[in-house]
Copies of this chain bind each other. A is one copy, B any other.
Amino acid sequence: MEPKKKSSRITIRTVAEDAGVSFSAVSKVLRNAYGVSDTLRAKVQASIERLGYRPHAAARGMKGHTYTLGVILPNMHNPFFSDVMLGVNDGLNRTPYQALLGVSRAASEERSAIDAIVDRQMDGLILIAPRMKTSELVAIAETIPTVVLGLHLPDVTAFDTVNNDDTLGASLVVRHLKHGGYRSIAYFTMDTSVDYGRAPFGHREVGYRAAMNDLGLSERVRVIAASENLREIQLEARKLLEASRRPEAIFCWTDYVAFEVLSVAVELGLRVPEDVAIVGYDNTAFCDLAPISLTSVDQSGQQLGMQAAQLLVERIKGRSHAEHVVITPRIVGRGSSLGAHDAKLSG
């Protein structure tokens, strides 16, 4: 019934007609291809402006590039990831690439989120703290240029990685606490099934143990773990804080956990940092709030994200050898631990 809306899209042919040239000339201008005179280029660009032409991404995706990069986040609740995304967008700022985000809240959804991006012929992939097996990551990276952020895999050649030096970061924390007079320092890590050794919290444990050893605190080493589940974290925190031999300080593998531990401590009527010190990792924005005032390690999510974006663009442009970037973290002292005054100095 309705009259066939001939809403005729503006294509390169429309532009060509308007400019009085062939459509392949327009294509060349668009691609900065070799062999176009300045006058032709000018004419075409004028027409593009006038008509408000926009290239059709799907059509491009048929042959060439989509100029779209996919970013996969494990979740959106951790504010660290939003810092990373800021950096990614920064890194892409002066490039033709656009980042689009997929969120995979469960490990099981990770696969389908990645598939969705690969299926859409995106030009590259940034995986943030992925949970799948390394072999699967390699398989994916052979399909699409890939950069992995937040996983230590220095020997992999199929993709680039970007990390901060988690071992160093953890040792900064231990030294900071020791300097503040704490000796019995526990490490609160993440409970996971796959490849503990490649994960940031794994490296942090290594750094924690090494520093405890170096400082002669090896018999005070104590590691507890919980999954991502909030209630489980709270439960473990409560057990730890109510134990007869309560640690003097608790180093949590990420701010998220530290907030919960802090919360439980307050609920139990403990004073922080007098009764127990708490330190986090990531230095997310909430650490700065006065009622929280959490000492934390800054790994600059923004810088990590920017690095990842730049590496990915390089890789798309043809780099074939792998790069494994490691950034130096620094500790930011706040009220949740003593010795905050000189904690700004990083190791």
**Which residues in A have some Cβ–Cβ distance to B below 8 Å?**
54-62, 66, 68, 70, 75-77, 79, 81-82, 85-86, 89, 98-103, 105, 115-116, 118-121, 259-260, 262-264, 266-267, 285-286, 288-292
Q: Which residues of B contact A76 (CB under 8 A)?
A: 76, 81-82, 85-86
Is the pair B66, A120 in contact by a Cβ cutoff of 8 Å? yes
Is the pair B61, A58 in contact by a Cβ cutoff of 8 Å? yes
Is the pair A266, B286 in contact by a Cβ cutoff of 8 Å? no
A88, closest chain B residue (CB): B103
Interface of A is mostly: helix
Looking at A58, A66, A86, the one whose CB has the most chain B CB atoms below 10 A away is A58
Is the pair A101, B98 in contact by a Cβ cutoff of 8 Å? no
Q: Which residues of B contact A60 (CB under 8 A)?
A: 58
A76 and B101 CA atoms in complex are apart in Å by 11
Is the pair A59, B56 in contact by a Cβ cutoff of 8 Å? no
A266 and B290 CA atoms in complex are apart in Å by 6
A260 and B288 CA atoms in complex are apart in Å by 10
A232 and B339 CA atoms in complex are apart in Å by 30
Is the pair A292, B292 in contact by a Cβ cutoff of 8 Å? yes
A68 and B118 CA atoms in complex are apart in Å by 13
> 4 shortest A-B CB distances, which residue pairs?
A58-B61, A76-B82, A101-B101, A266-B290
Is the pair A102, B101 in contact by a Cβ cutoff of 8 Å? yes
Is the pair B289, A259 in contact by a Cβ cutoff of 8 Å? yes
Is the pair B289, A119 in contact by a Cβ cutoff of 8 Å? no
Q: Which residues of B contact A101 (CB under 8 A)?
A: 100-103
Chain B nearest CB from A14 CB (Å) reads 16
Given contacts A77-B82, A82-B77, contact A58 B100 (CB under 8 A): no
Chain B nearest CB from A267 CB (Å) reads 5
Is the pair A119, B79 in contact by a Cβ cutoff of 8 Å? no
Besides A85-B103, A259-B289, A260-B289, 15 other CB < 8 A contacts?
A54-B118, A57-B121, A58-B121, A62-B62, A75-B82, A76-B82, A76-B85, A77-B285, A99-B102, A262-B291, A263-B288, A266-B291, A267-B290, A291-B291, A292-B292
Given contacts A82-B76, A89-B103, contact A58 B62 (CB under 8 A): yes
Given contacts A79-B79, A82-B77, A102-B101, contact A55 B119 (CB under 8 A): yes
Q: Which residues of B contact A262 (CB under 8 A)?
A: 289-291
Q: Which residues of B contact A260 (CB under 8 A)?
A: 289
Q: Which residues of B contact A99 (CB under 8 A)?
A: 102
